[in-house]
Structure 1
Amino acid sequence: MRLASPSHILVAASLVALAGCSQEQASPAAGPGGPGGAVEVGYVVTHPQSVERSTSISGRVVAHSTAEIRPQVDGIVKTIAFQEGRAVEAGATLFELQDQKFRAAYDAAAAALAKAQASEAGAQSTFDRSDRLAKSSTVSQQVLDEARTALLQATADVEVAKADLETAKINLDNTVIKAPIAGIIGTADVSVGSLVTANQTDALATIRTIDPVNVDLVDTSANLLRLRQDVEAGRLGRNGTGAPTVTLTLENGQTYEQKGEISLATVNVSQTPGTFTLRSTFANPQRVLLPGMFVRATVDVGSMPNAYLIPQRAVQRDATAKPVVYVVSADGKAEQRAIVTNGNKNNDWIVTEGLNDGDRLIVDGFQKISAGAAVAPVEAKVDKNGVVGQSLAPSTATQAPAVVGGEPAK
């Protein structure tokens, strides 16, 4: 048998040693991100709080009250007594019509009343005389009955004359057209000398009350049912007392400084779009809100106690599309939790079920984990825009710094 030379034995031993070193380098003591293969994740601690619940609804400004001015008698416009686009008080004179024929009619009715009253006085005297004579049997009962009938007719004529005089007075008064409500009056649709007729179709002018002013809000019936269910279940802290407050966002994006409240809800749902209307009322001293404006309203529907606000980025979806989150368990593993959300507030989901006080909610790094995976938690902070800021400690001296939000974490 041929024996290997000493030089061959040394070469073989060197190769074995090199292979052993390569295996050791290929099997590091710790996996990426943390000791023992744990993945570093950023977390925030959850705490329950009272969360104000609101809903955003589109709406349109409408006048609190509107009056279209129309004449009650025929006539020629003699005077226009207001300034267009200005405020008018209730009872202020707006138009005057020529009143000669109505004044003459009033005078004639007054004269007719005086004549009827004189006839009544004569009939009363005749009746009294006949009554005395009848008691002494000087006149017959028939004469007394005729005197009584004449007196009753004269009294009735007086009442008719009074009614005619009242009608003439109303027509005369209607030649002066006054404002039925206070508000802002628009343009006059007639001019001096125009002929107008009683109860005509076209209005002479329109008055709108815009302080206070109404905003009609339209929402779906499905949201109405959901809101009613939340109120009845006590999830919104309401017991049916107190009107919800409303905040408006104008068309230019600015928030209207005055807050309003819900003043009316319709009792029926529109059949075609399936919507219902809420009416809110706002003070409008500066006349910022004008009828016809479109606005966006935020309605404060209540407050949910013991709810959690969590960043939207922390919510995932399972195979059935239900919302889930990952929390760090007591033994340092990623635990998947099913949650129940009830809308959102700014960039946070409102969670009503599935979380506990003090849970360490994973907000970063969950893309690399699954349920039951070992994790190395690092506390993080989430700003109002949902951006995570944290410091992930490197597992080895040569590990690159963790990148959060597109920049190396400090």
Structure 2
Amino acid sequence: MKSSLKVCLFAILLVVFVYIVYPTNLSYANSENGQSTIGGIVVDGLKSEGMKAKIQEAVNQWTSEPITVSGAGAIINLQAAAIQFDIDGTIATYEQMTKRSWLTFWKSKRVVQLPLQIADSELLKVEIEKVKVWETDSTYKKVLAQAANLASHEIEADVKNMNVLDYERIALEIQPIPDNVAGLSNLVTVLNEQAVNPGQVFSLVEALGTEIDRANNETLDFVASMLYSIALKTNSEIYERASQNSVPSYLEPGIEATVTRNGSKDLKFLNMMDYAMQLKFTMEAGNLKAEAYGPANKQNVGIQVTRDYEISPRVIIRYSKDLPAGSEQLIEEGQAGFRVSVIRYSAEEPKGELISKDYYVPTHRVVLKSSKESEAEVSESLNYPLTNKPQLDLNGDGLADYDNGEEQQLRFPQDEKDLPKGSYYDKGGNLVTP
């Protein structure tokens, strides 16, 4: 009886000892699949060398792709290969945790899920820190956590509260929305709250993505022009910009811009500041307001548009038999053409930096005249000898036209339908005969 009591007491003490040494809430936690993993890689049943080879292969594959971190409109790609994994150290920890002593022979094998041990990477931290609208430390920890578990390469950054940042509006442009735009609200939604990182080249075509097909050409040009004006005022370096070569109803010549859907013409600029620049686009009371926010702009950027010279328009005369004799009608009012230079002044360029020279072709004055001669014109024409009449080479032989050796009175056809086959009036009002 005493012997049985001693055995029972020993068993109870042994169980108490095991529970003290190996707490149940930590030692044998169950996973969803009941398998042990390192960095998400199943390693059950593998010895050290096999375990290392399998994990190394997974690490090599994971580090072959960049880590994409995004937030508040900013996106950066980090080199996953810059992360140093301590595979040997992780395996040693795993073996220590799963090692069973003779006291636990009666329990099932311990199931653990270990993240890979990785070293701190100042390189990654510095890259994250460049985006001033992000919380550096918490975002950095997210990157390391994803890497330690060989998880997704897509990471959402922790964004700072913009209200507590020392940000202010550094550029503003407001223009009435033209009547012929379509799909403007779609583009505004995409561009609003976009962040341009320091040292980042911003591409309008890339930023709009597939939304570029939801707006017409007039809308694309309008938005590009507004953004170009903002880029100039923030002292951004202009990488690419194409002129419309015509004066729109908004902004002034030299400030407008155009883009194409296929990217053959794009608006690109580089954020030269040390801080991220945030764009804001809003539609208010028939106007489009474009803004840029950033740290206090101490450069006092100024833009000057100078008209270098003007070119007078030509007068194009067209004829119609439907107008009364001697009458004329103004079809289009002419406008002078000109070339402008855009110069930007800043603390870095106090003498001015030439940004662009744009040429805008003149709009010719078009007048429609009657093809019927008035009685006064006919009477006046009879007073001139035939030799003074205009002689026209209609047959293309290089000589004036004659009929049976007799000089004929020739006059220019007044209506284009009366011209010889293949002939036409050019934009300058000159008759062209093949």
Higher relative contact order (CA 8 A, sep 6+): 1
TM-score (norm 2): 0.21
Please say which structure displays the higher CA radius of gyration. Answer: 1
Q: Which has the higher strand share?
A: 1
